[in-house]
Amino acid sequence: METVLLHAMNTSSVDDIQKAAEILKNGGLVALPTETVYGLAANALDEVAVKNIFIAKGRPSDNPLIVHIAEFSDLDGIVSEVTPVAEKCMKAFWPGPFTAVLPKTKKIPTATSGGLDTVAVRMPKNEVARAIIKKAGLPLAAPSANRSGSPSPSTAGHVIDDLMGKIDAIVVSKNCEVGVESTVVSFAVNPPRLLRPGGVTAEQLRQYIPDLVIDAAVLAQPEKGAKVASPGMKYKHYAPSAEVTMVVGDEKAFSKYCNDQNPSLVVGYDEDEKLINSPFVSLGKAGDHKKAAERLFDTLRDVDKKGYKTVIVHAPTTDGMGLAVYNRLIRAAGFKVVQL
């Protein structure tokens, strides 16, 4: 399949935004920028188009998609109920990196919801994404625009690497500023449950949901055969082909461990660098979790491009966006964690 490259740095690229919307209205697949990661979009109400997303990504069909909207009124007909606490969170965090799981209506096809009776909805902040949704006049199902299992795409180049020739078009735009995916919260259970940490922190959520529960799968591997609230949590994810180990410990213990193991690459923070003898890449200053999130997926993709065989990564603390970075790294490591 020929993949058309469209270009939209902002909403003044009206022609290419129009072209993207036309392809979507005709049942095609378009990769587009959002503030979190690039998404692979299709008409969320078109079962055939949505099935093609799963084929292009190589995604397991029981892993449901997030439906992206541009206005609050777009919720009508998609969800059957909005709880008062869900509404408060939507008002606080939309547009932005926050996804609400709510009971779905019959309009949402089984392919979009992965056979669940709920649907995940998000209103992205990225102006190009919202312009395309508005022009198409459709809710858009959009998982991250990577091949299933590999790190999510935070630049247009990452999407081109993964999906060129497999989808109708890619909207080339800026790098994603958040760099990790949205925070997913289920309001279909009481109390509400954090299923995936992301661009909105648990601390921010607790201002509106004091009894928020953090799902056990956020920080650890789900038990074999266990029913997980968010199907995406059970798959090995974000993983380079290299053997990755995540290490929890302070700078001194971490550097001693790395120097004993002598891996082909160490991924850590600025403060680690002077203590490490192996090739080293930094995710930024220790504790600057926003910076680490922004650099994370590009760093993981680079590990493969450069052909490193063994990689040790330094776990961040789990405050603020550190929780999202930790959650992605533990999956990149296939849950291989060393506690020092």
119 binds, among Mg ion, ligand TXA, none (CB under 5 to 8 A by kind): ligand TXA
Amino acid 157 reads G
Closest separation between CB of residue 40 and ligand TXA, Å? 8
Work out whether 65 is an interface residue with ligand TXA (CB under 6 A).
yes
The terminus-to-terminus CA distance of the chain in angstroms comes to 49
- Residue from 6, 24, 79, 120 touching ligand TXA (CB under 6 A): that is 120
What residues form DSSP beta bridges with 196?
Answer: 184
Work out whether 150 is an interface residue with Mg ion (CB under 5 A).
no
Cβ contacts of 229 within 8 Å, gap of 6 or more: 186, 189, 193, 195, 215, 217
Work out whether 154 is an interface residue with Mg ion (CB under 5 A).
no
Provide the total of helices (H) and of strands (E) in the chain, helices listed first: 11, 16
**C-beta closer to ligand TXA: residue 63 or 278:** 63
DSSP 93-158: H-SSSEEEEEEB-TTS-HHHHTT-SEEEEE----HHHHHHHHHHTS-EE--BSS-TTSPPPSSHHH
- Residue from 144, 155, 173, 201 touching Mg ion (CB under 5 A): that is 144
Work out whether 43 is an interface residue with Mg ion (CB under 5 A).
no
Q: Rounded to whole angstroms, how far apart are CA atoms 285 and 291?
A: 8
Q: Rounded to whole angstroms, how far apart are CA atoms 258 and 311?
A: 10
Closest separation between CB of residue 192 and ligand TXA, Å? 12
Closest separation between CB of residue 101 and ligand TXA, Å? 4
Work out whether 52 is an interface residue with ligand TXA (CB under 6 A).
no
Work out whether 327 is an interface residue with ligand TXA (CB under 6 A).
no
Work out whether 118 is an interface residue with Mg ion (CB under 5 A).
no
Q: Rounded to whole angstroms, how far apart are CA atoms 65 and 3?
A: 22
Work out whether 95 is an interface residue with ligand TXA (CB under 6 A).
no
- Can you give the binding site for ligand TXA, defined by CB under 6 A? 34, 36-37, 39, 63-66, 97, 99, 101, 113, 116, 118-120, 122, 124, 142-144, 181-182, 184, 186, 195-196, 229-232
